[in-house]
Chains A and B, each alone.
Chain A
Amino acid sequence: MSLQELLQQIVNGLVVGSVYGLVALGYTMVYGIVRLINFAQGALFEAGAYLGVATFSLLGAFGTRQPLVGLLIALILSALFTGGLAYVVERVAYRPLRNAPPLAPLVSSLATFFLIISIIQVITGAQPLNYPQVLSVTPWSIGPITLAPTSLLIAVVAILLMVGIHFYVQRTKMGKAMRAIAVNRNAAALMGINTTWVVTFTFMLGGAMAAVAGVLFGVEYGSVTYNMGEFYGLVAFTAAVLGGIGNVPGALVGGLTVGVLSSFATIFLPNQWQEAIVFAILILVLALRPQGILGERVAERA
């Protein structure tokens, strides 16, 4: 393996990892606030990607003449609609189970995942759908490595959004309310925080981020498939666990780490091994450092 190959795989891994991180954000925020692994997140990612295709086809010729404006419109519309879908999911599949044992909403989230993916398959069929080419795919050569403008755009948008969410959670009133609910939901309600709405909003924000990731993913790979949410949803879940679930910067760190590691794996092993590698990583993390890279066991005094 040459140094060049190594560097190239790092760059590739960082690009795809930034997209994983964006999806992981939804897992981690929802887990942080209601201690639920929302497996529907992978389906929301896929729904977002398909809504992006739908937006581009609605834009038609305009999208081809102004691809960047088209992309911006696709990102915004997809994020809004997927946020709305996340709202419906929370209302229908989780809120009624708020006082049920934790297994019930977990199963409900798996059911929601398959429900959304099945609906997408029924509507669009099993054929992959193509994404329009937004930026030149002719790669730039930067020293020994190559990087397509699209890939750079994707990584920049994804990382900026994750940093933005981090500051949103740390600095704003809504973010403070989220962190308060994560520690003690009843006490947060006593502060005059409408905890039901904050939880719903967190689901919606996670869904919107998954949608952005879905559109960026479609642009990067040029097509989307009806079952993409299964693998990438689980990869993003791995990223969230690896980074430390419940920890917002952890989603970015976990996403980039999983991206780079699975990219490395393709140097040594055929591509088919990529899935096996990702889940081997998940098992290793759970065995060696269950709290993840940035996660910590927080001592709480009564």
Chain B
Amino acid sequence: MTLLEVESLVVSYGAIRAVRGIDFALSDGECVSLLGANGAGKSSSLKALSGLMRPASGRVHFDGKPVTGLPAHEMARMGVTLVPEGRQVFATLTVRENLELGGFNQSHEHNQEDLTRVLETFPSLEARLNALAGNLSGGEQQMVALGRALMSRPRLLMLDEPSLGLAPLVASQIFEVIRSIAASGIAVLLVEQNVHRALGIASRGYVLELGEITLQGSSADLLANEHIRRAYLGHGMGEGE
């Protein structure tokens, strides 16, 4: 079943069109990656889909319902959750408060269950629950951002560059968690610069270039594609990570 359907989406900053009419879709429980260089329009697409920006034109359906231009809090209530670029934890609030804010529209019982589950996923956060989120390392902050998103019981989790600025080992840990989130049946839309890792988790991918989708296909096909290898994986040598 189609969970998210995007038709001719255009996102503009004033006169600049960052996204120039893209179409894509995502099924329930599917993990899809959105790839592309800096400025290709990936983050702008996520901002429009999460409700942080109003699309200039186009249509978005979620779960069969029209959701074009709904504000962010209403998208979140429908189960569309964005983990924004740069994590954006609430620095002066404690880790516990950050996680509880993720479950803002969930019942107290749900929050208690989900908090336990988040701490099982990220055991290192347990000792830091009462620390201010701003005092955590970048990796721990990403865990808070992911945990906070899971607390909202998302049906579609959108991740904007989750590995950005993280040490390789920490990034690997975060990718493993994303893999297990996807395996748990939550649909994931993953925006990543690390194309190899992203396609290792996602089943399909779209490549954005200058605001347009120029290529799409299964992860295996994209990984084998000569253009992708040249442009994003290092001169077609296929040296992996």
- Docked CA distance A173–B17 (Å): 38
**B52 close to A191 (CB less than 8 A):** no
- Docked CA distance A187–B73 (Å): 10
Task: Tell me which of A187, A189, A196, A298 contacts B92 (CB under 8 A).
Answer: A298
Task: Tell me which of A173, A182, A191 contacts B76 (CB under 8 A).
Answer: A191
**B77 close to A192 (CB less than 8 A):** yes
Contacts A298-B91, A299-B134 given; does A194 touch B73 at CB 8 Å: yes
Count contacts on A: residues with CB < 8 A to the other chain.
24
**B134 close to A298 (CB less than 8 A):** yes
Nearest CB of A to B225, in Å: 33
Asked if A123 is an interface residue, CB under 8 A from chain B, the answer is no
Q: Which residue of B lies closest to A182 (CB)?
A: B92
Contacts of A137 in B (CB 8 A): none
**B101 close to A180 (CB less than 8 A):** yes
Contacts A190-B52, A299-B134, A302-B86 given; does A176 touch B100 at CB 8 Å: yes
Nearest CB of B to A285, in Å: 22
Q: Which residue of B lies closest to A296 (CB)?
A: B92
How many residue pairs link A and B with beta carbons under 8 A? The number is 77
Asked if B150 is an interface residue, CB under 8 A from chain A, the answer is no
Task: Tell me which of B88, B104, B138, B148 contacts A193 (CB under 8 A).
Answer: B104
Q: 10 nearest interchain CB pairs?
A: A192-B76, A189-B72, A300-B91, A187-B88, A192-B105, A183-B90, A194-B73, A191-B101, A191-B104, A192-B104
Could you give 30 example pairs across A and B, Cβ below 8 Å?
A176-B97, A179-B97, A180-B90, A180-B101, A182-B92, A183-B93, A184-B90, A188-B101, A189-B71, A189-B76, A190-B52, A190-B72, A191-B101, A191-B102, A191-B148, A191-B152, A192-B76, A192-B77, A192-B105, A192-B152, A193-B101, A193-B104, A194-B71, A298-B91, A300-B91, A300-B92, A300-B134, A301-B134, A301-B138, A302-B86
A residues with CB within 8 A of B:
173, 176-177, 179-180, 182-184, 186-196, 298-302
